[in-house]
Structure 1
């Protein structure tokens, strides 16, 4: 008999307008209380209680805050600043489950709002976790902390569950070390936690990994930074075109250098935070997409190709590599083919009805819609977990960057190459810490 812990995933099914509003009120009140308690430097539960007690939150959320804030303020995490969109945490008695197998949606969850006010909402579960969910309902497993968050307009719950299991069958295959080419377990990758790194336009960088049970946890998106870089690039092209028409090439060059310095500052901050994220994960390996494959497979039409070939994949890759090396964190690369098209849950190909949304084509998959960049990051991590990885692209160390600007050091990506100004992406990508 051994004790195992798993993170159960529940997707809240179509809450009505009233319940969505209440969920948003809970999230907003929680995040404000968290910000205020953190700003006050509450390093004890008593100090945190003095701050959060005034907020319209359930006792379960307040008690979770009283434990979490002192960790942030030095006891465990020693965070310098808070990131946006922290999930709402509830202590172990916060949620309640109900099972109605006769209904189309079998599971229902009671989410605390504030005081004695709760919301009963139908929920769809990951079918691979059904046995664990039934064990919780039958009180044969112990529910731990739960976390509520919104991603791309859909609400989710992650619930930590612990139970005694008699054999190893309850351990997800994702927890086992992938074999090497000989079929034997790969000792070099033993216990490595692959962190998928997806680089794009909507979210400049997105990272995510799976926990020991195989559940995607703690995705982080640098969406605001992506918006900032798009704005700076658009400003660059607009100003450059106007100045060149006036014959002011020298001023245009000077102005461009200033804007690209601002972009470089964003790149350095984001890549530093990516490495800090990796440092918070046990035995991490950062997994990037192979730049040569990205360039070879990039064919989105003439206009989008100009935009994406000017997007500094190489520079971001290079900064992540050397900053990770400084901290002793390994970096691997994988072929990115179809990482943005496949569903991380079932493997079926889907579509992207919006820039930030992945839609799975498999009607029986528990994931109907997912944040597209997070889906891609999970697939990148899974590709390493399956055994496919190589430390460098096909270019040898002696080769220099060519016109395909896929250099590992990003040397050729010193400025934008678009002939049109960037169009502002109209989709809003929300960042979230899902665990």
Structure 2
């Protein structure tokens, strides 16, 4: 579906911007322009080409609008900042930033003597420009050019689709467009099917509310019941299966064993409270309860491989500084992440972690650790290790040895009692 827009930029004078000497990195900060505009297609980090229309300038010219999107700029410190809602006008030879549109996004514009300073909503300096002799404010700005626009957009969209528990793409886009959450980038509405979604939550086809064909006379169309009643308890018509669907998909996406379903339920609850719902208009359950928008920048794909820093007091020079674990989401009540170490059978809580969201754990290497009883792990001891707790490589067999020693002591005591009873019986026989 195409969106058609018509812009009236009668306070913009394109001929005044002809002094850039062919330098396409020059951007003009204009308080007369109502919208951000550029003629460089390659600068966009994402572009919606379905948005089209025309814009009218002061000289009476009408030029075509062929898209709208975002451009990522690189600051002097290397920090990336994205500028949204920039119109792509292919015939425009210059780059224009509308100061009016910037203030609508919460930015602050300060003009003193010959300086213009543009600050973000947090008060951090974005651009400082000196006024030119022709009373224009222009400055070179470095743009981060994507290596492949389509690949970058797709990768970001699918990554957040997995982080949010494989939520619908339309819901994701709506959350960003209506600013229902903080920390989530722009995403596309993907049309490709997600194999994990099909495995975890594929539904039956709905029956049409109205038949395409109606019989015109008696007995022309006869219906017969050959299978009996059809059970309605399917995901297609059960509105209460959404929670179960989310944690089921979380387990199947990274091939996590069902034994960790409790962690999947906990993390799915964390996600559902931060995802848009039909019960609240343009709000998440989190905002409905706490009256503030949730920040979901911390989210990582459930079940992906992570590398946790080893914080031990007796590490040698050649010892590993990191170990591979499985991400189980965030730890409630802290800013740390919760992980599971399948080798040591430990729950690890740590902030010092690096994620590999495209990799899952190879469970085939741990076939010997699975208990004989189906659907259960053989976990003789589960240790919860937090950041800074001594040696995190404590051998779990140490606890088994202690338990075995206790059992041996009990057996020895039982044997001694049995021997004492036998001696008493022998002494009684001798007296008789």
Per the TM superposition, whether the score is higher than 0.5 is no
More helix as a share of residues: 1
Q: TM-score, normalised by structure 1?
A: 0.28
Larger radius of gyration: 2
